[in-house]
């Protein structure tokens, strides 16, 4: 089983921190215009948000794993709900590599695998180095072409 690049934790922690800050801003706004919210409460909520967010990010990194198996791409992920997904190569429609601005700064990239399924039609593997993302994309594409079925839909 392959794990993600450790730097993805920074991205996830930043995301959690952002959510905590937004929550803080909302509470401050309520304090200004609606009912008074004690400063301690706002600080406490933001701090709690930060701690939870960081803990969540670290745990998510711990559980996130994926593997190329004989017939399918296999992934394990999720903190609250742990999900094991198999995406058979025959069902892969196309594969993308993507990276947002923050991922670019961190030198990370994601691979997104699309199926014709209706829910969870796209499976994202975040936190890969650009080289790994490219090789994974190529491998998946080859495997998908190799095992191509005639009429999936």
Partner 1 sequence: MPSDANRLHPLSAVTLALQRGLTGLSMPFFVVMILSTIFDGVDIDWIFMLAPVGFVVGIGYGIAYYYRFTYAITSRTLDVTSGVFSRRSREIPYRRIQNVDVSQGVLYRIFGLAVVSLETAGGGETEATLNFVSEAEAERLRAEIRRQTARADDDDASSDERAASASGSASASGVDESTRHERSHPDRRPTLLFELEPTELLVYALTSFRWGAAVFPIALVIFLTSADSGSGLVPAFVLEIARPVGGPASLDGAAVGSLLVLIAVTALQWSVATYVASAIYTVANYYGFRLGRAGADFVYERGLIQRYSGSIPVDKVQSVTITENPLQRLVGYAGLWVETAGYGPESSGGSQSAIPLAETDRIYRFAENLTDVETPRFQRPPTLARRRYLVRYSAIAAIVVAVAFGLAQGTGLERWYLAVAVFVAVPLAAHLKYVNLGYHVGEEHLVIRSGFWNRRTTVIPYYRIQTVSTRRSIFQRRLGLASLAVDTASSRTFSWGTPTVPDLELETARELHGIGRERLQSAVRERARSDETGLSVDFT
By three-state DSSP, how is residue 42 classified?
helix
When the beta carbons of 28 and 147 are compared against partner 1, the nearer one is 147
Provide the 8-state DSSP code for 125. E
For the chain, the first-to-last Cα distance in angstroms comes to 31
For residue 69, the minimal CB distance to partner 1 (Å) is: 9
Residue numbers at the binding site for partner 1 (CB under 8 A): 71-72, 78, 80-88, 90-91, 115-121, 123, 147, 149-153
For residue 116, the minimal CB distance to partner 1 (Å) is: 4
For residue 75, the minimal CB distance to partner 1 (Å) is: 9
When the beta carbons of 39 and 152 are compared against partner 1, the nearer one is 152
Going from the C-alpha of 117 to that of each of 41, 69, 86, 92, 94, the distances in angstroms are 45, 20, 12, 10, 12
When the beta carbons of 19 and 79 are compared against partner 1, the nearer one is 79
For residue 80, the minimal CB distance to partner 1 (Å) is: 6
CA–CA dist 150, 153 (Å, integer)? 9
When the beta carbons of 91 and 132 are compared against partner 1, the nearer one is 91
CA–CA dist 96, 78 (Å, integer)? 22
CA–CA dist 122, 73 (Å, integer)? 13
When the beta carbons of 120 and 135 are compared against partner 1, the nearer one is 120
For residue 107, the minimal CB distance to partner 1 (Å) is: 30
């Amino acid at each position: 089983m392959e794990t993600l690049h450790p730097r993805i934790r920074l991205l996830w922690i930043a995301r959690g921190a952002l959510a905590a800050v937004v929550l803080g801003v909302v509470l401050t706004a309520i304090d200004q215009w609606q009912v008074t919210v004690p400063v301690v409460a706002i600080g406490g909520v933001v701090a709690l948000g930060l701690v939870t967010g960081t803990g969540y990010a670290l745990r998510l990194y711990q559980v996130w794993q994926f593997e190329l198996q004989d017939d399918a791409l296999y992934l394990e992920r999720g903190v609250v709900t742990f999900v094991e997904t198999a995406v058979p190569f025959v069902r892969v429609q196309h594969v993308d590599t993507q990276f947002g601005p923050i991922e670019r700064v961190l030198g990370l990239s994601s691979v997104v695998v699309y199926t014709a399924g209706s829910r969870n039609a796209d499976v994202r593997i975040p936190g890969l180095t650009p080289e790994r993302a490219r090789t994974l994309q190529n491998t998946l594409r080859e495997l998908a072409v190799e095992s191509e079925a005639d009429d999936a839909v």
